[in-house]
Chains A and B, each alone.
Chain A
């Protein structure tokens, strides 16, 4: 079955530690996204990538980094510079069109907690 996988489901980080969240898709989508979800707030865009080896900052990129070496994979690293990383992280993908915009498909999420 086609879809998006995220791992791990739960992640615990100690102060000063970098952690990497995995996102893989087998939908053959060009574009991939990382969002952060906090209680009572809408999803906030961290980074997005529309093509391999290229990515752009979203609204809250500080303290995060990404790479897009393969079409299927878009890992997110939460660095020690991110002061409040406890949140639910969602990865999404969509197929780009020359005109119009398709819906985004989401993975199951990773819940990150700072100890």
Chain B
């Protein structure tokens, strides 16, 4: 059965303190992996798509990487406005997204 686990569930950082969020998956016939950002009470906002192991993508202070079993979202020198819940969603062989529960990131000034 396809599974996705995001860790940690919540992460509190000081402004400027870099860290990484993890997305571990067991998905048959992975076709890609998506990262989204979700602010409280709003819909998810697309960040990245990764298609193959070894691929990396960057956007401002965020960098997403992919291996055969997990993906990482690295955040460098975060700011309070980076506070949000970050969701990962692998795409399986049937083109269905399998959503993780998310990591709630809190950046304190």
Q: Identify the A interface with B (CB < 8 A).
A: 4, 35, 40-45, 90, 92, 101, 103-109, 111
CA distance A108 to B38 in the complex (A): 10
B101 contacts A108, C-beta separation under 8 Å: no
Q: Which residues of A contact B45 (CB under 8 A)?
A: 106
Q: Which of B1-19 contact A (CB under 8 A)?
A: 4, 9
Task: Point out the residue from A4, A43, A105, A108 that lies within 8 Å of B99, measured CB to CB.
Answer: A43
Q: Which residues of B contact A43 (CB under 8 A)?
A: 44, 87, 89, 97, 99
Q: Identify the B interface with A (CB < 8 A).
A: 4, 9, 31-32, 34, 36, 41-46, 49, 87, 89, 91, 95-102
Known interface pairs A41-B101, A42-B101; A109-B41 also in contact (CB < 8 Å): yes
By DSSP majority rule, is chain B's interface helix, strand, loop, or mixed?
A: loop
In the complex, which residue of chain A has the Cβ closest to the Cβ of B4? A42
Q: How many A-B residue pairs have CB under 8 A?
A: 46
CA distance A86 to B86 in the complex (A): 23
**What are the 6 A-B residue pairs with the smallest beta carbon separation, nearest first?**
A106-B43, A42-B99, A43-B99, A103-B46, A106-B44, A42-B101
CA distance A40 to B31 in the complex (A): 25
In the complex, which residue of chain A has the Cβ closest to the Cβ of B47? A103
In the complex, which residue of chain B has the Cβ closest to the Cβ of A91? B43
Q: Which residues of A contact B41 (CB under 8 A)?
A: 109, 111
Most buried by B among A105, A106, A111: A106
In the complex, which residue of chain A has the Cβ closest to the Cβ of B88? A42
CA distance A40 to B10 in the complex (A): 11
Known interface pairs A42-B99, A42-B101, A101-B95; A108-B42 also in contact (CB < 8 Å): yes
Q: Which residues of A contact B96 (CB under 8 A)?
A: 45
Task: Point out the residue from A42, A44, A45, A109 that lies within 8 Å of B42, measured CB to CB.
Answer: A109
Q: Which residues of A contact B34 (CB under 8 A)?
A: 103-104
A105 contacts B46, C-beta separation under 8 Å: yes
In the complex, which residue of chain B has the Cβ closest to the Cβ of A92? B43
Q: Which residues of A contact B95 (CB under 8 A)?
A: 101
